[in-house]
Amino acid sequence: MFKLLFDPVSEIKSFRKQSYAHVLLYLLAASLFETIGLLFFAWRYFSKFFTPNILVYGIVGTLFSLIVIHIVVAFFFSLAMHVLDGKGGYYEGLTTLVLAMVAPAVATFFAGAISFLSAPVAALILAYGYVIGFATLFRSGKELFELDYAGVLIGFLITAVPLGFACAIFLR
């Protein structure tokens, strides 16, 4: 899993062989890293606003929300990408989103822990993780769906814009 932080290309290629168990294990591990990182940030910056009960509910809710959101968004992403290329399916969509999630999740974990010592260093770690995450999203989409980068960008936008509108309407 940590190989995605320093050699994402070879790690992406290892996912060409379908293994839902492997992808779901990455999803669970990345969700745990992200949740604990968010806990660190909440503890560091918002501890006076939260009781221990609220933090526990927030941790459990965040963990399950991250997993469910990735599974649902992967459906829509897979649908858009399948229409664009006619080749990929749900496995490729889920794998693309999960691999793109790993680096930001690990970076959130370490940045949350380091935020107690130095906020600028934590910000740099977050930036590194999100840069790797976005690059991994496009590279894994290119590799798994056999499209060019423009096709992956269009599929990403086709997914993100309607889901963004749906969330805005829902939260209104």
Q: Is 72 in contact with 159 (CB distance < 8 Å)?
A: no
Nearest to 1 by CA among 106, 86, 116: 106
For the entire predicted model, the pTM comes to 0.88
Nearest to 70 by CA among 58, 78, 59: 78
Q: pLDDT by residue (tens digit) across 32-73?
A: 999 999 999 988 888 788 887 888 888 899 999 999 999 999
Residue 56's H or E segment, with its range, is helix 52-85
Distance CA 172, CA 162 (A): 15
Integer-rounded Cα radius of gyration of the chain: 17
Q: pLDDT by residue (tens digit) across 107-152?
A: 999 999 999 999 999 999 999 999 999 999 999 999 899 888 999 9
The pLDDT of residue 165 is above 80: yes
- Mean per-residue pLDDT, 163-172: 91
Q: pLDDT by residue (tens digit) across 69-92?
A: 999 999 999 999 999 887 878 999
Give, in order, the Cα–Cα distances in Å from 152 to each of 65, 72, 100, 146: 25, 18, 13, 9
**Residue 156, pLDDT score:** 93
Name residue 149's amino acid. Y
**Residue 127, pLDDT score:** 96
Q: Is 34 in contact with 69 (CB distance < 8 Å)?
A: no
The pLDDT of residue 5 is above 80: no
* Chain centroid, CA 149 distance in Å: 19
Token pair in block for residue 139: 């590279």
Distance CA 46, CA 24 (A): 31
Distance CA 134, CA 140 (A): 10
The pLDDT of residue 18 is above 90: no
